[in-house]
């Protein structure tokens, strides 16, 4: 435990001092380095000594002992700290390891990760073992602690018990509570959630909110209850309101909320010229959204919007480190910090040609450095294939609900009255209504209804990639739906589509049925083909992947399909309960 509790043991700290004394040579010396000094807010030339994973010295001197040191002449280059993603959802079909490796190529060397899937799908002991394993990769991996499931679980009190949440909060790799999507119940008097917030604050950790559309007074109330930040501002005015109440504000640029250009433009119109309380996030977008970059793209957008370069880089580095109380480790190039450094050819181009992460070269001269991210035995940590040991039959295909679910956009769903005949095995392809089911992963229950606005052409789609870990079935043809389900069983989880009795496309997700085990470069190609197929089949909105994962998400209006049944979010009640099989 002590090895995990302290970043460096006493013996290693003594070695760091010995490097300065000339008794030990640095591992790497960056000579003639022009780096961004964020305290002085300007570029400064210096020599940077690195020993293993730590910056030992930044200044004008060269070490007396250079035996075995790698000396790199940085003339003509510009060095900035490794970028930090403060709001990562590392289970968006990709997995935490593949995300870390891929985004490191764009200079993101620190991820602050959602723990929801770990809390829902793994035993706590295995989840913590996995987090410990993630300490051994070049990317620095930190985690959240959720207070709620973001849906209506049948056994919510077991998963989010006081003992479980307290254990997560106490974990050294956990640096924040939230995101707080269950804030309405907090305001309604949930004292257990308030106690968890109090515990988070007692441990000097942050609490992140999730407050889309919140009024000024609601923001003030939540600040009083202990929330520190929010990433749901969609206009410059909403950024202003959050800043006025003392929040740290994440400016978002994601696949369904590419708001950053608008936010910055409207912030300038409102006279906001200080950005120390702002940070940049991609909000856990699907892999295809990262095809051309990660946090580096957001820095570029900020500079294109007229934000001073220092502020643009700070919103991706030092601002985030200060907010999370880890400035002593991350966010700037200074003595004692973790050796996360991006090498730029030009300060106007934030995409690095070379990247150091924990003192390890992960990218050099524009090329990935192979084999620096270790492989993982996923099954050791509980990420085995999805096992479905039950059958889906025609008897399960009963759709007699008086109303269904209508998609308003990629993530917002409303109820609508069903007026078509649903007694047959197939629906007409002249309209956009589909059969729709949520099945318990264990096969003990189901909920059947209709879905409007998803597709006119999909015969049957089965997905184990969902927000609560259960299985979604939808489509025009019940036989295609059963075929898709059976194929899902065969491949151990994924997203499968059938049409007219023929397999149309599939994306295997062998890790718990929700994550791929392929590199993101490969995943992007497969995922883009899947997305194009769904859009060609009539999906009219931006992102069907988010649609699948948010069908059960009760932090969004208005009606959701959950383990407990069809759920009215605004009135907080079950409209139609799930049916035992």
End-to-end CA distance of the chain: 45
Beta strand pairing call for 28-37 and 70-73: parallel
- 418 touches 455 (CB < 8 A): no
pLDDT class of 524 with cuts at 50, 70, 90: very high
- Domain boundaries along the sequence of the chain: 88-336, 394-580
As a whole number of angstroms, the distance between CA 435 and CA 181 comes to 29
**Sheet strands (E) in 74-205:** 78-81, 83-88, 108-113, 140-145, 174-180
Neighbouring-strand partners of residue 512: none
- Residues 292/296/298/301 CA torsion (nearest 10 deg): -80
As a whole number of angstroms, the distance between CA 448 and CA 373 comes to 44
H or E stretch including 364? strand 360-364
Whether the predicted pLDDT of 2 surpasses 60? no
| Cα→Cα distances 11→6, 8, 372, 536, Å | 12, 8, 25, 61
As a whole number of angstroms, the distance between CA 84 and CA 319 comes to 10
- 302 touches 311 (CB < 8 A): yes
| Residues 6 or more apart whose Cβ sits within 8 Å of residue 415 | 403, 404, 405, 406, 558, 559, 575
Structure tokens at 45: 């030339």
Q: Which of 217, 204, 290 lies closest to 254, judged by CA? A: 290
Q: What is the pLDDT of residues 471-514, one digit of tens each?
A: 999 999 999 999 999 999 999 999 999 999 999 999 999 999 99
Neighbouring-strand partners of residue 565: 562, 577
Structure tokens at 257: 């909320």
Structure tokens at 173: 């790799």
Q: What number of CA atoms fall less than 13 Å from residue 383's CA on the CB side?
A: 21
Q: What is the pLDDT of residues 69-92, one digit of tens each?
A: 999 999 999 999 999 999 999 999
Structure tokens at 70: 């790698």
| Residues 6 or more apart whose Cβ sits within 8 Å of residue 564 | 152, 153, 154, 574, 577, 578
Q: What is the pLDDT of residues 534-546, one digit of tens each?
A: 999 999 998 898 9
Q: What is the pLDDT of residues 302-320, one digit of tens each?
A: 999 999 999 999 999 999 9
As a whole number of angstroms, the distance between CA 186 and CA 389 comes to 39
pLDDT class of 151 with cuts at 50, 70, 90: confident
Q: Which strands, in side-by-side order, build the sheet including 278-281?
A: 83-88, 108-113, 140-145, 174-180, 206-209, 229-230, 248-252, 278-281
Whether the predicted pLDDT of 222 surpasses 90? yes
| Cα→Cα distances 141→18, 167, 277, 394, 404, Å | 28, 18, 22, 46, 41
Neighbouring-strand partners of residue 177: 145, 207
pLDDT class of 3 with cuts at 50, 70, 90: very low
As a whole number of angstroms, the distance between CA 400 and CA 208 comes to 41
| Per-residue pLDDT at 555 | 85
Orientation angle between helical segments 260-269 and 295-304, nearest 10 degrees: 40
Q: What is the pLDDT of residues 420-474, one digit of tens each?
A: 999 999 999 999 999 999 999 999 999 999 999 999 999 999 999 998 899 999 9
Please list the alpha-helical segments (H only) found in 203-349.
216-224, 236-244, 260-269, 295-304, 309-314, 318-323
- 74 touches 285 (CB < 8 A): no
H or E stretch including 484? helix 478-491
Task: Kindly state the percentage of the chain with pLDDT values over 90.
Answer: 94
Prediction pTM value:
0.96
Candidates 3.20.20.140, 3.40.50.2300, 3.10.20.520, 3.40.605.10; CATH matching 88-336: 3.20.20.140
Report phi then psi at 238, rounded to 5. Answer: -70, -35
Q: What is the mean pLDDT of residues 327-332?
A: 98
More confident call, 5 vs 511: 511
Whether the predicted pLDDT of 397 surpasses 80? yes
Q: What is the pLDDT of residues 154-169, one digit of tens each?
A: 777 888 999 999 999 9
Q: What is the mean pLDDT of residues 191-217?
A: 97
Mean pLDDT of the chain: 96
- 542 touches 255 (CB < 8 A): yes
pLDDT class of 98 with cuts at 50, 70, 90: very high
As a whole number of angstroms, the distance between CA 398 and CA 416 comes to 18
Structure tokens at 550: 């948010």
| Residues 6 or more apart whose Cβ sits within 8 Å of residue 417 | 402, 403
As a whole number of angstroms, the distance between CA 240 and CA 222 comes to 16
Q: What is the pLDDT of residues 235-282, one digit of tens each?
A: 999 999 999 999 999 999 999 999 999 999 999 999 999 999 999 999
DSSP conformational letter for 287: G
């Amino acid at each position: 435990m002590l090895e995990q509790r302290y970043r460096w043991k006493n013996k290693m700290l003594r070695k760091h001092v010995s490097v300065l004394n000339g008794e030990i040579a640095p591992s790497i010396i960056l000579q003639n380095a022009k780096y961004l000094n964020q305290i002085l807010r300007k570029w400064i030339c210096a020599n940077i000594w690195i020993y293993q994973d730590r910056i030992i010295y930044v200044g004008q001197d060269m070490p007396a002992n250079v035996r075995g040191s790698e000396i790199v002449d940085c003339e003509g280059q510009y060095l900035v700290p490794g970028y930090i993603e403060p709001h990562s959802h590392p289970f968006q079909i990709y997995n935490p390891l593949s995300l870390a490796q891929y985004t490191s190529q764009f200079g993101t060397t620190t991820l602050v990760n959602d723990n929801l899937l770990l809390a829902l799908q793994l035993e706590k002991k295995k989840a913590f073992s996995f987090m410990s394993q993630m300490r051994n990769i070049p990317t620095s991996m930190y985690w959240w602690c959720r207070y709620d499931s973001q849906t209506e679980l049948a056994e919510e009190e077991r998963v989010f018990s006081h003992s479980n949440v307290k254990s997560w909060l106490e974990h050294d790799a956990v640096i924040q509570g939230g995101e707080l999507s269950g804030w309405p119940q907090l305001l309604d008097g949930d004292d257990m959630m308030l106690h968890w917030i109090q515990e988070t604050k007692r441990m000097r950790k942050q609490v992140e909110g999730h407050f889309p559309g919140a009024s000024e007074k609601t923001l003030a109330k939540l600040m009083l209850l202990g929330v520190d930040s929010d990433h749901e501002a969609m206009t410059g005015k909403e950024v202003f309101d959050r800043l006025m109440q003392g929040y740290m504000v994440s400016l978002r640029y994601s696949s369904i909320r590419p708001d950053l250009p608008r936010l910055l433009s409207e912030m300038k119109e409102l006279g906001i010229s200080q950005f120390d309380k702002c940070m940049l996030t991609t909000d856990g977008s699907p892999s295809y959204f990262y095809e051309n970059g990660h946090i580096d793209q957001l820095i570029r957008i900020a500079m294109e919007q007229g934000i001073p370069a220092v502020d643009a880089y700070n919103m991706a580095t030092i601002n985030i480190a200060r907010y999370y109380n880890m400035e002593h480790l991350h966010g700037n190039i200074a003595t004692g910090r973790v050796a996360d450094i991006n090498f730029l050819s030009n300060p106007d181009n934030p995409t690095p040609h070379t990247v150091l992460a924990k003192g390890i070269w992960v990218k050099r001269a524009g090329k990935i450095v192979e084999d620096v991210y270790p492989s993982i035995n996923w099954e050791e940590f509980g990420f085995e294939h999805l096992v479905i040991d039950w059958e889906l039959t025609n008897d399960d295909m009963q759709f007699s609900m008086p109303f269904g679910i209508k998609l308003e956009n990629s993530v917002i769903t409303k109820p609508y009255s069903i007026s078509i005949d649903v007694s047959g095995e197939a629906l007409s392809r002249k309209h956009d209504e589909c059969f729709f089911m949520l099945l318990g992963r264990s096969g003990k229950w189901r909920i059947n209804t209709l879905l409007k606005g998803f597709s006119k052409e999909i015969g049957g789609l089965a997905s184990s990639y969902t927000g609560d870990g259960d299985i979604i079935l939808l489509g025009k043809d019940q036989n295609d739906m059963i075929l898709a389900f059976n194929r899902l069983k065969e491949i151990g989880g994924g997203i499968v589509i059938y049409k007219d009795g023929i397999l149309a496309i599939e994306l295997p997700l062998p890790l718990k049925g929700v994550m791929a085990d392929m590199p993101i470069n490969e995943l992007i190609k497969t995922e883009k083909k899947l997305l194009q197929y769904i859009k060609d089949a009539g999906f009219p909105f931006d992102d069907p992947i988010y649609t699948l994962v948010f069908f059960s998400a009760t932090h969004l209006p208005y009606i959701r399909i959950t383990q407990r049944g069809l759920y009215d979010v605004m009135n907080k009640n079950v409209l139609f309960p799930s049916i035992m099989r």
